[in-house]
Chains A and B, each alone.
Chain A
């Protein structure tokens, strides 16, 4: 019996993950052509590499179809209700850093904090007749954050891409999005609220609490964690 390790299937996240495992003597590679989503594992027996979209790895972990998976903390917390019951964080891998932040137009010179945003939301609703729109794809994380912070009179509008452009196109008044350097926000004339950090995310190795393990695969997992110095 083997255990399955889910890794993002493309880009820097995949390469950096391969590097991280490689540095610990577990060599991951893509088999065949660049277009084929199959992988190989050298340096340990009984581990199968599964290449997946980073966004699907939380679901596969919670379904128990993979035993281990590398993905962002942001995606696990957004997609899995009660995530601590479904997965265990084994290691933060030190790359893929990204902050989920709340940003508003830089021209809002009167707004710097969530307190300002809340006051503006109240006035905006009175003036425009609808609740101030915040574009995001992280609905749960942003809603929980704003509820804890006591911000009212806003609404979340779904934006699966090019979120920073929504304010200019007047489909939202503010955004909640992932940023690493802030360059894209600045280029779109947006600024981050000084207390608008919802979550700091980075690539993380998770273990599924839902995957079934037989004795053999339990032994493989123990050996792998030992090799990764995570035992």
Chain B
């Protein structure tokens, strides 16, 4: 049997496991309108997905995953609770590493259900773990919701919080913003000159382009307001750093986060959600004492996860991407829901990587 045939048969087998678990099988087209994906991910998606076009429909993308079309399909039909599964090829542009596959099978399980979030998280995680069988994999988990709760709780302006929220998934820019808002980095000279100028438009070059003088003036007033705002207190920055550095097995991580929540009570609901998830995972037979939790996990991958995140890695093959991964994406249903929303969590398995592991075992 060729590798592709084996991968395809494994995909069918895994999908059947998800059907048995109560999911409704769905199909999605391979060509997806590029607009939706570009709006969600921005220009970066062009580096990761194949873009094609015709004169009639404009730009199309070869689907880089199923989540977005499945969410769109679900939200178009009224956002009632549902469970779906799918299996099929996805396509990822590879420009730097020829060893990475540019076409591979994904088998997914997605839960749209707001009745019990912790139970739904545990359901997806445990089902995927069980479907992976005996393969020697290490699970990594995280929770973006704790970091966003901490940012919302900061004692600073709404504008600064919005800027930090926008860059939750870009750790480098997030760090630069935190350092600036906390007064740790000096005001850049050009900014200082601008703020000190009696007339910032004196000797100004001719206005060209779509961004108007009014927009520029509005930003300058915002910068003045920001310069007057007090820095984010050092103690709060230390708490953000403490959260980001939590990297323990789940019970210890929970203990650590509860300690932090004493000083930052606003994250307590998110931390208790983590506790509820731990209990739900235990109910599903997951050995939480040995489950790793990393508060900064999932911040650099796909930027739609906003709560629980997880991945399964082949310990003997650090060169491979995760064999399975997933997470919660409530906000995505809101963005694509045209006024509707529903809590949602899901995950995917790459049967091709499972096949590679069997080959090396």
Contact = CB atoms under 8 A, between A and B. Distances in A.
Interface string A126-169: 01100100000001100110111111111110000000000110
Contacts of B220: 109-110
A194 interface: yes
B95 to A, nearest CB: 4
B190 A140 contact: no
A81 B206 contact: no
Contact of B190 (A112, A123, A150, A152): A112
Interface in B180-227: 180, 188, 190-191, 194, 200-201, 204-211, 213, 215-216, 218-220, 223
A78 to B, nearest CB: 11
Interface in A146-200: 146-156, 167-168, 170, 172-173, 189, 191, 194
A167 B38 CA distance: 22
Nearest to B207: A107
Contacts of A32: none
Contact of B204 (A109, A148, A149): A109
Contact of B172 (A139, A149, A156, A194): A149
B167 A109 contact: no
Nearest to A81: B95
Contact of B216 (A107, A113, A146): A107
Nearest to A155: B43
Interface stretch (A2-10, A55-63, A114-122, A202-210): A114-122
Interface of A is mostly: mixed
B190 A194 contact: yes
B44 interface: yes
Contacts, number: 111
A109 B216 contact: yes
Contact of A82 (B98, B188, B207): B98
A72 interface: no
A64 interface: no
B200 A189 contact: no
A82 B210 contact: no
Contacts of A151: 173
Contact of B208 (A105, A122, A140, A144): A105
Given A120-B211, A170-B209, A152 B167 contact: yes
A131 B38 CA distance: 10
A108 B211 contact: yes
B95 A140 contact: yes
B319 interface: no
Interface residues of A, number: 44
Please indicate which of the listed interface residues B44, B163, B201, B205 has the most CB atoms of chain A within 10 Å of its own CB.
B205
Nearest to A174: B209
A141 to B, nearest CB: 11
Nearest to B170: A150
B317 interface: no
Contacts of B194: 109-110, 112
Interface in B153-174: 163, 166-167, 170, 172-174
Contacts of B47: 140, 143-144, 147
A119 B170 CA distance: 14
Contact of A110 (B38, B43, B170, B200): B200
Contacts of B43: 131, 143, 146, 154-156
Contacts of B215: 123-124, 127
Nearest to A128: B210
Contact of A109 (B46, B200, B210): B200
A93 interface: no
A106 B209 CA distance: 11
Given A81-B95, A110-B200, A120-B219, A189 B167 contact: no
Nearest to A121: B42
Given A108-B216, A115-B180, A143-B46, 15 more contacts: A82-B96, A105-B205, A107-B207, A107-B208, A112-B191, A112-B194, A115-B188, A122-B166, A123-B218, A150-B176, A167-B208, A167-B209, A172-B209, A173-B209, A189-B208
